Structure 1
Amino acid sequence: MPESFRYGDVMSRLKSWLRHRWPLPVYRPDPLLPHHGADGYRNLYPFQQPKLADVLRWEWQRRRMPAVRHRLERIPRRVPELAALNGNRERPSLTWVAHPTSFIQLCGKNILIDPVWSQRASPFQWAGPERQSPPPMALQELPAIDLVLITHNHYDHLDFNTVRRLARQAAACPRFVAPLGVGVILRHAGVPASRIHELDWWQCYRLDGVEAELTPAHHWSNRWMFGDENRALWGGFAVRGDGLQFWYPGDTGYQDQLFRLIGERIGLVDLALLPIGAYEPRWFLSPQHVNPEEAVRILLDTGARAAWAVHWGSFILTDEPLDRPQDDLAAALALWNISPEVFKRPAMGETRWF
């Protein structure tokens, strides 16, 4: 090996190149806040952080599993009410687009939560989890967006390509609201710093009559290869306006104390958007993703009036078939004696009017 070659120098240059290509968040902890740790943000309750050994064990097991059949024809879809949504200026509405993405209309404002329109949930569009069916509408078919809410920096929630398209939107200048540390990715995607608003847990952002409050989640963050684990915060959003409150917890594991706390802090939720997908195997995913039965328990813990099932049916991220979450949800509702009309499984593209 040439004497001039030094492994440390090569790794240092690689990290410098990556940080120029993909900037890292700057972590500024507040020592008075319990979720601000010395090396990064942390959860309010004990949490098992995924480790490389766990990922390798999971991958080893997956390679030995029988082939999984994803019956995409069982995943409900609906032709979206685009004319009504584009012409609406007064009536509150909520549309589930696909996976984590929802479109909300409140106080005459158009709001997107975790907008993901790319073909892959990945840093690359030639590799990584691929969308199994297209979104029910194109991004440009929606009315001009006023507010974008990002829950955390994982690729199936913060889609760089979609953010870049929204930042270039000619018809409006949307504001972007995200947890602490996520702004660096938004700026890299072309969002002007003046339109980015970073929040800590329990902080609020207001746009005319709309209020968005960042609520805690039982999760973690990581986007790059080096140096950013838990350096950006994660969470969910309570969205208020027109006398209504919607709540989406973001990616989260189940922690009963956490969801009782959230229910006490934010008050009555008219409709909760609760994740039911990406949950197998439980030995690996239970700290970070709820399963359908735990989603039902979140409904009960928070006291929400009703819920819609989201975060399923689009990307093969975990071991369960894409169509299975709806069956597990039905079983959980029967177990808890809850009507499917209270915790509904909407179709992709379906709108609820208020």
Structure 2
Amino acid sequence: MSRLKSWLQDRWPLPVYRPDPRQPHHQADGYRNLFPFRQPSLADVLRWEWQRSRMPAVKHRLERIPRQAPELAALNANRDRPSLTWVAHATSFIQLCGKNILIDPIWSQRASPFQWAGPERQLPPPMALQELPAIDLVLITHNHYDHLDFNTVRRLARQPAGCPQFAAPLGVGATLRRAGVPASRIQELDWWQCCRLGGVEAELTPAHHWSKRWMMGDENRALWGGFAVRGDGLQFWYPGDTGYQDQLFQLIGERIGAVDLALLPIGAYEPRWFLRPQHVNPEEAVRILLDTGGRAAWAVHWGSFILTDEPLDRPQDDLAAALAQWNISPEVFQLPAMGETRWF
């Protein structure tokens, strides 16, 4: 029993919640969003599961999901040229100011507390974690399992070059420490706060979402968000998991300024009655680009895990339709392949 308790505590440590009464998004019982938000309830989850049980089988045409061999030799040799690589799902690899940065790294086979149950990866990552150069900085947007992968964090904490620096929202540090990341290597951030490493600056931006990792007792007691990453005269931005809220994204655009490349989520959005408050669909991702005034975007957060009801290959079709609806060129909002690198 003690071994089971220790295993559970490793993966689900309860965050220590210390609200700051000066901050309006800090409430007595947990964090809240800047704008009205409908929290998913147990009744919602049960209704969704009942509806899913009555749906016909969904066909996922995995051969339609673009993949390419990563430029591993160039990435490992690179010391001074900015680059951004979409790995898969929400995981991206960034090189800025000579630093190697990972956002929401997940290399596990399942986005789950267990590796024998839960959403299973449908396509393998385009590279192994150890094939990338040593990581200097890891950015975690929130504590859901497809963004904070305990096993991958533990591997990064033990990389031969030494544990990287981690930046994460308030309350997420408890899980990172349990995974073996020293407290001295963790910086927990509130919205609009920054961490710095060399010439790289990462600012935590608000998102329209929620947090939960434990079965009970930790709902919204760890913060969530996205990251604006700056260096070498460039700014990249990933909003994290988020529902659409036009005032929020207009505010972010005003606060962080010009974004050279936004990594915008386009997957995990059906059924809309359940997921609209917490996950954008492709059309809403296009609206985020317009609201923030971003110069260009890459589509991410799709193609790996069956988390929701839409076919895994459908987001690319819905994105194409949304771009046509808003008269935006596919060259502005691109659909990268897993493993693809954009050089700057």
Normalising by structure 2, we get a TM-score of 0.98
TM-superposed CA distance for 1:21, in Å, is 6.7
Matched residue count: 341
Structure 2 counterparts to residues 111-126 of structure 1, below 5 A: 111-126=101-116
Q: Mind listing any 5+ residue stretches in structure 1 that lack a counterpart?
A: 1-13
**Structure 2 residue 187 is the aligned partner of structure 1 residue 207:** no
Q: Is the 8 A contact 2:157 2:163 kept in 1?
A: yes
TM-superposed CA distance for 1:18, in Å, is 5.0
User: Quick one: which of 236, 243, 261 aligns to 1:253?
Assistant: 243
**Structure 2 residue 259 is the aligned partner of structure 1 residue 269:** yes
Cα distance in 1 for partners of 2:235, 2:243 equals 22
User: Quick one: which of 134, 141, 156 aligns to 1:144?
Assistant: 134
Q: Is the 8 A contact 2:11 2:150 kept in 1?
A: no
User: Quick one: which of 222, 228, 249 aligns to 1:232?
Assistant: 222
Cα distance in 1 for partners of 2:44, 2:30 equals 21
Name the SS of the counterpart of 1:330 in structure 2: helix
Q: Is the 8 A contact 1:15 1:226 kept in 2?
A: no
Distance change (3 Å), C-alpha of 1:346 and 1:55: same
TM-superposed CA distance for 1:183, in Å, is 0.1
Question: Match of 1:83, as an amino acid?
Answer: A
Cα distance in 1 for partners of 2:192, 2:5 equals 34
Q: Is the 8 A contact 2:62 2:312 kept in 1?
A: yes
Name the residue aligned to 1:63.
53
Q: Is the 8 A contact 2:103 2:139 kept in 1?
A: yes
Name the residue aligned to 1:282.
272
Name the SS of the counterpart of 2:30 in structure 1: coil
Name the residue aligned to 1:337.
327
User: Quick one: which of 14, 18, 22 aligns to 1:28?
Assistant: 18
TM-superposed CA distance for 1:172, in Å, is 3.4
Name the residue aligned to 2:171.
181
Name the residue aligned to 1:168.
158
Name the residue aligned to 1:47.
37
TM-superposed CA distance for 1:94, in Å, is 0.1
**Structure 2 residue 85 is the aligned partner of structure 1 residue 92:** no
Cα distance in 1 for partners of 2:10, 2:107 equals 26
Distance change (3 Å), C-alpha of 1:78 and 1:341: same
Cα distance in 1 for partners of 2:311, 2:7 equals 38
Cα distance in 2 for partners of 1:73, 1:329 equals 18
- Aligned-residue sequence identity (percent) comes to 89
TM-superposed CA distance for 1:19, in Å, is 4.8
Cα distance in 2 for partners of 1:41, 1:197 equals 18
Normalising by structure 1, we get a TM-score of 0.95
CA displacement, residues 59-91 of structure 1 (integer Å, 9 cap, x when unaligned): 000000011000000000000000000000000
Name the SS of the counterpart of 1:177 in structure 2: strand
Question: Match of 2:23, as an amino acid?
Answer: L
Higher mean alpha-carbon deviation, 49-58 vs 170-179, is at 170-179
Question: Match of 1:254, as an amino acid?
Answer: Y
Name the residue aligned to 2:211.
221
Cα distance in 2 for partners of 1:233, 1:212 equals 16
Q: Mind listing any 5+ residue stretches in structure 2 that lack a counterpart?
A: none
User: Quick one: which of 295, 309, 319 aligns to 2:299?
Assistant: 309
Distance change (3 Å), C-alpha of 1:17 and 1:120: closer
Cα distance in 2 for partners of 1:22, 1:253 equals 25
Name the SS of the counterpart of 1:111 in structure 2: strand
Name the residue aligned to 1:322.
312
Q: Is the 8 A contact 1:217 1:250 kept in 2?
A: yes
Cα distance in 2 for partners of 1:124, 1:269 equals 37
Name the SS of the counterpart of 1:97 in structure 2: strand
TM-superposed CA distance for 1:230, in Å, is 0.2
CA displacement, residues 148-190 of structure 1 (integer Å, 9 cap, x when unaligned): 0000000000000000000001123300000000000000000
Q: Is the 8 A contact 2:10 2:179 kept in 1?
A: no
